[in-house]
Amino acid sequence: MLKDITLGQYFPGNSLLHRLDPRIKLLATVLLIVIIFLAKNMAGYGVMILLTVFLVALSRIPVKTILKSIKPLIFVVLLTVAMNIFFTGGENVVLDQKIWIIHLRLTAEGILNGVKMALRILLLIVDTGVILTYTTSPIDLTDGIERLLSPLGKIGVPVHSFAMMMSLALRFVPTLIEETDKIIAAQKSRGADFSSGNVISRVKALIPVLIPLLISSFRRADELALAMECRCYHGGKGRTKMKELKLQAKDVAFLLVLALFLAVAFLPGIPCSVFGINTMNFVF
């Protein structure tokens, strides 16, 4: 039952986004988050939606898969929208009514704010998904993080150890899930009951699963450390990589395009004139 869980949602493929340097993708993600939060008006959002559609098309990931990733967050989005609608004050009252003891007062500003927030969250999920989690394998990701943070190594931050720990953790996720399954089966065969009773008794029932799992993880860690030592691992010093990361023209071009979008979103005057949607700024 636990086997279906996949950590990260890497979607193997060979699109341009798949082939970009992971460092660039990490930078691009940060840049996109900044752009999304800086977008001031509807024109800015329009531009971002266009960019997102473009990125999705570029990644060649089925739209269905992307919609699926949004699904678990729908509740958060709706809650944010509701909060914004009801708690934003404003001049242009749309609805002002007292229903029983609740005083409902909707304003145009509130609704607009709600829509903006919803767009913001959805764009964030889709963009980071398409650029990072769907198109970058975990190993590339840790590699990228290690290289990006390597300057910190000069001031004594153990960047290599950190990246190594992350990739080992990723490596052992499926192994530990398999083990959890086995322990659950073993406990069930001894009469353990995981599916009845209230929340507290169910949580209690998990203790006989978690403790063996913890103990065996320590044993694994011990054996793994031994095996790594026997394979000549001695930290990041003097280590090389089979696959070197090299920046290519397409990586630089991709980052430049995103920087252009940042400029557009950052200068509030430009979008209106550039995209000829002057009225948008006025109406909202």
| Binding-site ranges for other proteins (CB under 8 A) | 137-139, 167-168, 170-171, 174-175, 178, 220, 223-224, 226-234, 238-244
Instruction: Closer to other proteins by CB, 104 or 228: give it.
Output: 228
Q: How far apart are CB 70 and other proteins at their closest, in Å?
A: 26
Q: How far apart are CB 220 and other proteins at their closest, in Å?
A: 5
What type of residue sits at position 122? L
Residue 104 sits at φ, ψ, to 5 deg, of -95, 125
- Token pair belonging to 113: 């704010």
Instruction: Closer to other proteins by CB, 34 or 170: give it.
Output: 170
State CA 69 to chain mean position distance: 10
H helix runs in the chain, sequence order = 16-19, 22-38, 42-59, 63-70, 74-87, 108-128, 138-153, 159-189, 199-230, 249-266, 269-275, 278-283
Instruction: Closer to other proteins by CB, 96 or 223: give it.
Output: 223
Q: How far apart are CB 52 and other proteins at their closest, in Å?
A: 29
Instruction: Closer to other proteins by CB, 204 or 239: give it.
Output: 239
Instruction: Closer to other proteins by CB, 248 or 279: give it.
Output: 248
In angstroms, rounded to a whole number, what is the distance separating the alpha carbons of residues 44 and 276? Answer: 12
Burial degree of 235 (CB within 10 A; 0-12, 13-18, 19+): exposed
Q: How far apart are CB 111 and other proteins at their closest, in Å?
A: 46
- Token pair belonging to 187: 């406990």
Parallel, antiparallel or unpaired: strands 93-99 and 102-107 = antiparallel
Instruction: Closer to other proteins by CB, 172 or 275: give it.
Output: 172
Q: How far apart are CB 168 and other proteins at their closest, in Å?
A: 6
In angstroms, rounded to a whole number, what is the distance separating the alpha carbons of residues 202 and 218? Answer: 25
107: alpha, beta or left? (left if phi > 0; alpha if psi -120 to 50): beta
Instruction: Closer to other proteins by CB, 65 or 175: give it.
Output: 175
Q: How far apart are CB 270 and other proteins at their closest, in Å?
A: 44
* DSSP string of 152-167, one letter each residue: HHTTT--HHHHHHHHH
List all residues 6 or more positions away from 72 whose beta carbon is below 8 Å from its beta carbon.
none
Q: How far apart are CB 5 and other proteins at their closest, in Å?
A: 13
